[in-house]
Amino acid sequence: MSEYKMDQPVGASPLDRGVQGIIGEPLNRVEGRRKVAGDVPYAADHKVEGKLAVGVAICSTIGFGRVKGFDTSKAEAMPGVLAAIVDDPRIPRETAGFSDEKLVTGNDRVDSYGQSLGVVVAETFEQARAAANAVKVEYDPGEGRFDAGAGRGGARPLGDEGMVPDTTVGDIDAAMASAPHTLDRTYETPSHAHAAMEPHAAIAVWEGDSLTVYTSIQITSGAKKKLVNTLGLGSDKARIVSPYIGGGFGGKGGLGTECVLAAIAAKRIGRPVKLVITRQQLFHLVYRRSDTVQRMRLACDADGRLTAFGQDSIVSQNDGRPFYEPVPLGSLALYAGANRSFTTKAYTLNIPHCGSVRAPGEAVGILGVECAMDEMAEQLGMDPVEFRKLNEPEKDLTRNRPFSERQLVQCMEEGARRFGWERRNAKPLQEREGEWWIGRGMAAAIRVNMLTNAQARLRIEPGGKVVVETDMTDIGTGSYTILSQIAGEILGMPIESVEVRLGDSLFPAAFGSGGSMGAASSGSAVALAAEDAVAELAARMGTSVKDLTLKDGHAIAGNRRVPVGDLVAQKTIETTGTIKPGAMAKQYDQAAYGAHFVEVAVSGVTGETRIRKVTSVFAAGRILNAKTARSQAIGGIIWGIGEALTEEAVTDPRYGNFANNDLAEYHVPVHADIPHLDVTFLPELDDKTNPLKIKGIGELGIAGIGAAVNNAIYNATGVRVYEFPITLDKVLAGLPAEAA
């Protein structure tokens, strides 16, 4: 078994030595033909043995208080109803985030609107839905804190409770008081929903006291642990199967309510149970991204060099939940400035709790930073790209450590060239096409890079087929494909000869998909397992690894060329690879970078913004598959456009519910909102990150793009909006009358 801890730069990577020529290539997804034929099973599609019953969750219709009692008699008497379950102490009050050991349970109280209180199970969905509506719940409502604006005044400092501990360097107040140029602005972002296309769902099957749950979960090993803890099972008595996931974005990171409810119901009725959370329920049953208030403080000397840089934030959370949106995560090392302040306060909202939504930290934090940088550049009379280049730091000035690889300046320069940045007018309200004002803006992108413990098993079976197993998941990111490419490249196998099996908690634990660290972690584990297999193949060829070449399913050494299938005809090769994070993560500041350039048209009549052109350039280590990497990038960019212009989960301060809890009212971008996107990755290898020399790319695209949109809107209209999303009413309010 090969184990590697990332304590020093990797030197030559196994991928550097491969000669198969498939790594980095824009290969189509290995599961793609099945996906476009509707042939892969998502959570609610699995066929199971036994007569499947259908569960529907009973959800709270108040936002805060106690439950006095239930009346299930009417529901139980309805046709087809098998059980109406409200008496199980394990009924969850939450869908778990990343950090809980088990779900918060017990339906005697209501922590937030829409939390689960029980489950009705019937022969059909129609019967279960009607019966769930017929369950009467008697409440004793309490005084919930539902109003974001009212609560922020009492926010408490988080100190070191959050993922990013409060950090100050120098004296930002003194620097602000003495600098010739200062900016002190506050930006706000609203609650944000994952809104994955696939609703959370689970099919629970018991065999004796052993439970199998077919579901959609990004991190199966973590979820399995929470499932056995929540249900009170032995650690070997549950299995989670999650081979295809219809989008996650962090929302399927932890154990879902649906898994526990389906398991409870299936045990109660002695039959397998399928439970799908409805779209309306999802907005309340799945955690949200916190609303944020970000006070940005920048000070510059007369030449435009930053002397102070601060981002002090307020976020919300429900009682008793340990996750806080790490607003300054990507901001800490982004720019220069000797005096720095990054602090976070939190206040309580009794609405659905907060958890990870794509790019926790940067997705909101870089909005404040990059809008403020644009405003400061204007104050200085400098070009926004030049102002950023002037303030490129030589190291991470917050934590006083060097960068691993950082090509932010190169991204900005290449982006500016591709976009035609020189066409931008420095002043707003200069370019008009009919009712439309044209503007251009830019912003930097950054996403921290991480590595975590992961394991993978690899077999070369008689005949030469390579099988890789790990509980890593594919949430649309391309895990099946890139892991096939990694194994194929190192073992000299065409991609068709590699079969990757994912998303089963019986496989070696590999963390899963989250935090843009899935490819690095599971991919490194696969590479290490493949390296061990190469060593065994060399031994069977009677040569050294150095003198062995593997290509097209053949082992070549000296003047011999032997099919790999022949080398394993007598005995299968089985290896395991394990990667562990190490000193590199502390010694170097590791991040992926990018730059976005956006052209917008804003109606002088309605204030509506149309995105006309986007150019984004990224530098994110080695790219494993040029096609799926680009898809992740454009997906992130479009998420950021949604964040900028339309996405806001609106709380009703009277009841603590989200008023727009469906896809007609919570506006994610649609086809017509998005033009062609120009995306480029710069060549990069980062030997401090992991044995693959890659960086995470799943969350990079979202960072900063919303600020580029806001800066372009200002450039078009002269209106700066400080409260996201930038809906047309906010733009219209600032437009001069002559702009119409």
Shortest Å distance, C-beta 459 to another protein:
25
d(CA 444, CA 420): 17
Active site residue 665: no
Residue 54 or 719 with smaller CB distance to another protein: 54
Shortest Å distance, C-beta 642 to another protein:
8
Residue 564 or 638 with smaller CB distance to another protein: 638
d(CA 120, CA 473): 30
Using DSSP, how many helices (H) and how many strands (E) does the chain show?
A: 19, 31
d(CA 161, CA 626): 39
- Residues 191-220, one symbol each (x = binds another protein by CB under 8 A, - = not), give ---xxxxxx---------------------
Sort 427 into a burial class: Cβ within 10 Å, 0-12 / 13-18 / 19+. Answer: exposed
Interface with another protein includes 705 (CB under 8 A)?
no
Q: By CB under 8 A, name the one of 3, 5, 21, 34 that touches another protein.
A: 34
Residue 125 or 139 with smaller CB distance to another protein: 125
Shortest Å distance, C-beta 411 to another protein:
20
Q: How many CB atoms lie within 10 A of CB 112?
A: 25
Shortest Å distance, C-beta 677 to another protein:
5
Instruction: Tell me how far the alpha carbon of residue 385 is from its chain's centroid.
Output: 28
Q: Given the DSSP bridges, would you call strands 53-59 and 273-276 parallel, antiparallel or unpaired? A: parallel
- Contacts (Cβ under 8 Å, ≥6 apart) of 131: 56, 75, 76, 78, 81, 84, 120, 122
Shortest Å distance, C-beta 475 to another protein:
6
d(CA 529, CA 57): 43
Cα–Cα distance list, 425 to 24, 378, 480 (Å): 38, 12, 46
Residue 477 or 521 with smaller CB distance to another protein: 477
Interface with another protein includes 279 (CB under 8 A)?
yes
Tokens 């506006």 found at: 667
Interface with another protein includes 655 (CB under 8 A)?
no
Q: By CB under 8 A, name the one of 59, 81, 638, 707 that touches another protein.
A: 638
> What is the footprint of another protein within residues 656-675 (CB under 8 A)?
662-664, 668-672, 674-675
Interface with another protein includes 51 (CB under 8 A)?
no
Shortest Å distance, C-beta 448 to another protein:
22
599, 647, 648, 699: which one is catalytic? 699
d(CA 291, CA 321): 15
- Coil, helix or strand at residue 185: strand
Residue 77 or 426 with smaller CB distance to another protein: 77
Interface with another protein includes 18 (CB under 8 A)?
no
Residue 74 or 279 with smaller CB distance to another protein: 279
Tokens 């580029």 found at: 708
d(CA 128, CA 146): 31
On the CB side of 624, how many CA atoms lie within 13 Å of its CA?
32
- Residues 456-495, one symbol each (x = binds another protein by CB under 8 A, - = not), give -------------------xxxx-----------------
Interface with another protein includes 433 (CB under 8 A)?
no
Interface with another protein includes 278 (CB under 8 A)?
yes
Interface with another protein includes 125 (CB under 8 A)?
yes
Tokens 């019937």 found at: 122
Cβ atoms of residues 419 and 698 within 8 Å: no
Residue 107 or 616 with smaller CB distance to another protein: 616
Q: Name the residue among 246, 249, 212 with its Cα closest to residue 231.
A: 212
Shortest Å distance, C-beta 276 to another protein:
7
Q: How many residues bind another protein (CB under 8 A)?
A: 63
Helix (H) or strand (E) holding 641: helix 626-645
Residue 2 or 631 with smaller CB distance to another protein: 631
Residues that bind another protein (CB under 8 A): 28-29, 31-42, 44-45, 47, 124-127, 130, 194-199, 244-249, 276, 278-279, 475-478, 627-628, 630-632, 634-635, 637-639, 662-664, 668-672, 674-677
Catalytic positions, written as ranges: 699
